Amino acid sequence: MPISKGQSFPTNIPLKYIPYTAEKPEVAACGVPATLDLSKEFAGKKVVITAAPGAFTPTCTEQHIPDYLKHVKDFKAKGVSRIIVLTANDPFVLSAWSKALGYKDADNFVVFANDPNVELLTELGPDFVADLSSAGFGKRTARWTSIIDDGKVAFIANENGTGFSEISSAETVLREL
């Protein structure tokens, strides 16, 4: 059964991300990977997780993630403590992608974190993994979005593939907050 509203979001898989620092603003400047402990992220807070099939791929880069970045102020105003952009890429690619997308904010309200072996995604359910092996991408995440409130799923919507529509848009999440 795929994860659904009201259930606890898994916290047993540590994710990696590279925090943005003003000392390394260039796209090609490598930072230092850190661990994102979801149990700490979730405790008493509202967190948005939005999952994208691939850094630097067209829909993720030109539509999905810019849609969230342009609404950062609105998410903060609705009490969100962090947005996690989740992919199966490595953290160095994610760091470069976040900077290429123009997200250079040392408060790291948005973090680009990874689940490289789709372990977390597999726990969420088969519909959350997109097998893009035939395109040479291996196993990735499907495109989905969610609100986690104090560790419980308050909202979750899955495109069940790599398309981007209002199902997983920032506007949809903002309406649900």
Give the nearest distance from C-beta 127 to ligand BEZ in angstroms.
16
The DSSP secondary-structure symbol of 142 reads P
Interface with ligand BEZ (CB under 6 A) = 53-54, 57-60, 132, 137, 162
Distances (CA, A) of 59 to 62, 66, 75, 78: 5, 10, 22, 26
Smallest gap from Cβ 63 to ligand BEZ, in A, equals 8
Tell me whether residue 8 or residue 133 sits nearer to ligand BEZ (CB atom): 133
Nearer to ligand BEZ (CB atom), residue 16 or residue 139: 139
Return the structure tokens found at 89: 């890429």
Phi, psi for residue 16 in degrees, rounded to 5 = -110, 145
The sign of the dihedral angle between the CA atoms of 137, 144, 103, 110 is negative
Catalytic residue list: 60
Using CA atoms, how far apart are residues 88 and 16, in angstroms rounded to an integer?
10
Contact 146, 169 (CB under 8 A): no
Task: Please state the closest distance from residue 58 (CB atom) to ligand BEZ, in A.
Answer: 4
Query: Of 10 and 66, which has the nearer Cβ to ligand BEZ?
Result: 66
